[in-house]
Amino acid sequence: MFLSIYRNAIVKNSSIVIKEIVGSNNDIALITLNSPRTFNSLGKALMTELEKLCKEAENDSLINCILLTSSSNKAFSQGADIREISQYTHEKIVSEDFPKQWYFLSDIKKTKVALVNGICFGGGLELAMMCDYILGTKQSSYALPEIKLGIIPGCGGTQRLPRKVGKSLAMEMILTGDKITADEAHKAGLLTTILQSTPEKPLAEAIKYIETNNIYNKYT
């Protein structure tokens, strides 16, 4: 069953991001964060490659949906690459408009779905919230832990999270940095649904969910 919906070979492949075409109609661009050793830390190299592949999918007339996920069942993403960012001076952050490299995903007009397996923290959660739908596995967890590093979410988390879960829970998550479970995230409105498959095999269920519920934007 899995192979029947996971049809095409790799279209684009780098060491840190993979793009494939999947779905019964070959119209879903599956884009996979593939840096499990770093728990998909979102450094400049990964974000640059992710932007390129997402824009390719956006400009492909045969693609109706972008499905963003991770090759690891332990982490969607642990967030921004703090070690890399710590090397930046304030002048460098301002001159290179650091946050701008994150916002491309929110500008993509085609339907975007995040499939979250494992931890989804910091910038990883901000990235997921730029998608139209978030599908989470039962063992997924969510947090904005920046406060524990003496910083705040810098790429839209302070605006998007309250819209998803309400001001009270958003304030608690942002000011404590504590994580919430998949059940808590779903009840609060952060997750669209909780996938019931095993942690090793959520992709087939996610694709089925997309196609069964017809969550495409056909007119972009």
What DSSP string runs through 155-207?
SSHHHHHHHHH-HHHHHHHHHH---EEHHHHHHHTS-SEEE-S-TT--HHHHH
The 8-class DSSP code of residue 139 comes to: T
Give the bridge partners for 136, in sequence order.
116, 194
Torsion of CA 150, 156, 158, 159, to 10 degrees: 170
CA distance 188 to 120: 16
In 74-159, DSSP assigns E strands to 75-77, 111-116, 119-121, 133-137, 141-143
CA 29 centroid distance within chain:
14
Which one of the listed residues 126, 136, 188, 205 is annotated catalytic? 126
Determine whether 75 is an active site residue: no
CA distance 46 to 69: 13
- The residue to which tokens 């879903």 are assigned: 28
Query: What element of type H or E holds 140?
Result: none
Determine whether 211 is an active site residue: no
Which one of the listed residues 29, 57, 75, 80 is annotated catalytic? 80
Determine whether 123 is an active site residue: yes
Determine whether 80 is an active site residue: yes
The residues annotated with a catalytic role in the active site are: 80, 123, 126, 146
